[in-house]
Amino acid sequence: MSVFLAILWKDLVTEWRSRDRVIAMGLFALLVVVVFHFALPEAGADRLRPALPGLLWVAYVFAAMLGLNRAFAVELENDALAGLALVPADRGWIFLGKAAANWILLGVVQAATAVAFALAFDVRLAAVAVPLSGVVALGSLGLCSIGTLFAAISVRTQYREVMLPLLLLPLLVPVLLGAVDATAQLLDEGRVSFAPLQLLLVTNAVFLIVSFVGFEYVLDE
Amino acid sequence: MAMNAAPSGGLADRLRVPSGLLLGVLALLWLGSVVRAPEDQMQGVIQKILYVHVPVVFAAYLGFFLTALGGALFLWRDDERYDRLARSAAEVGVLFCTLVLVTGPIWARGTWGRWWSWDLRLTLTLLLWFVYLAYLLLRGFTESSHRAARFAAVYGIVGVLTIPLNYFAIDLAAGRTLHPENLGRGSLGAGMGWPFALGLATAAAALLHLVARRVELEGLREELIRRRAGAREGAWTT
């Protein structure tokens, strides 16, 4: 448990001192929003409405992948990853610390992106801000759990920037479907039914347990 | 060490000829039964592609299951033979899955009038194909073979665990389906049972035969690397 807090604290302090990861992710997410605007020039705000939850989550996932790649790339410097592997504790706690740091940093970026999104596409997100944050936090939990596991794998392969999305995206479908469905319900009706939340909860539980156990085998040597 | 995977005397090696013969006989019987099977009254001759499509999909699933099983056993026992099984089953599984994704649209074009539909089973199979292609790429892009084996084992297990999650997720999103329901009792016309049964047996035999050949090949390759390293060491010491 103390390992979990130590890793989380270390990652947050490092990020606070440099702020490079959050700025890069945030700028990237904003650019994605701008690209959507230019890629869909004919569609007005009304005609775009059914697609907006999906577009928002695409921006989130792309930004998350950028941050996840960095999370372990920094550990390669000075062989810090080997140091982490030597920590005399269950490596699952290292995973949890890393994943929690990713989750918090992604949350900051997501909040900024949501504001930009609301302004750019004229969506009234303020009215559902609280339940929407809950849905986004829940969806991001699944994203950051296997995302952190696969980032630890992909960072030690060739073409690591390419490897992470190839590993992550096919397995992310349950998270994406649940999150997009819940977000769409919130934007349409202002409330969300249990079905997508249930899917997210079950998926998160499976992903967290598998990543906690699997991390033991990816952090070695 | 995995000495009994040496080129001579291994179980896979001894079964090569019998399993090849069995596969040949099954394939001939299956071909005959498909030719003799009655034409479907509604769909016509294109329905016969399902005698390939359905058995091959089950064989592909068997391959992916073997990949996860081999990966789990490798992580547990740290024995490279299990890794060889996982890797070989993934390669053959991807081959079979590709066949499924080729035969399915050909049938769908003739029956539904379009090549693809984002339906539960089609999407699941497509995602599985992506997962196991990524699995093979991961192995190719990781330098140390032992590390590649561990990474791949973890990924293969997560990949299989995601199948039920994907199933529920897509079911929730897609709802209605175009894909024919699972074969229930009496859903096949007269004379259509045998080609399916023989097809299932042939596809399973083909998968196992190919996986065994691939395992054997991998064993030979590692033996070669070992001998070369040994020869190099010998050259150094003399």
* Residue B72 C-alpha, separation from nearest chain A C-alpha, in angstroms: 11
Measured N-to-C along each axis, helices A91-121 and A194-218 cross at an angle, to the nearest 10 degrees, of 140
The mean pLDDT value for B183-212 works out to 79
Residue A91: pLDDT above 80?
yes
The rounded percent of chain A whose pLDDT value lies above 70 is: 98
CB A153 to CB B137 under 8 A?
A: no
Amino acid at the residue B109: R
CB A173 to CB B127 under 8 A?
A: yes
Task: Give pLDDT tens digits for A162-219.
Answer: 999 999 999 998 999 999 999 999 988 888 888 889 999 999 999 999 999 999 998 8
Residue B118 confidence (pLDDT): 83
Residue B175 confidence (pLDDT): 57
**b/e for A148-182, b at 16 or more Cβ within 10 A?**
bbbbbbbbbbeebeebbbbbbbbbbbbbbbbbbbb
- Whose tokens are 């590649």? That residue is B148
Greater confidence (B202 vs B39) lies with: B202
The mean pLDDT value for B187-191 works out to 65
Which residues in chain A touch residue B147, judged by CB atoms under 8 angstroms apart?
156, 220-221
Could you tell me the pTM of the whole model? 0.87
Label residue A86 by pLDDT band (50, 70, 90). confident
* Residue B134 C-alpha, separation from nearest chain A C-alpha, in angstroms: 6
Structure tokens at A27: 């700028």
Residue B204: pLDDT above 80?
yes
Q: How far apart are CA B169 and CA B42, in angstroms?
A: 33
Three-class SS of residue B37?
coil
Label residue A124 by pLDDT band (50, 70, 90). confident
Label residue B39 by pLDDT band (50, 70, 90). confident
CB B158 to CB A203 under 8 A?
A: no
Task: Give pLDDT tens digits for B171-182.
Answer: 776 655 566 655
Question: Long-range contacts: A35-43, Cβ < 8 Å, 24+?
Answer: A37/A120, A37/A121
Q: How far apart are CA B48 and CA B35, in angstroms?
A: 9
Identify the closest residue of chain B to A208 by CA–CA distance.
B158
Residue B120: pLDDT above 80?
no
Task: Give pLDDT tens digits for B84-118.
Answer: 999 999 999 999 999 999 999 998 888 888 888 88
- Beta-carbon contacts of A73 under 8 Å, excluding residues fewer than 6 positions away, are A155, A160
CB A167 to CB B134 under 8 A?
A: yes
| φ, ψ (nearest 5 deg) of residue B44 | 80, -155
The mean pLDDT value for B185-202 works out to 76
By the 8 A CB rule, do B71 and B157 touch?
A: yes
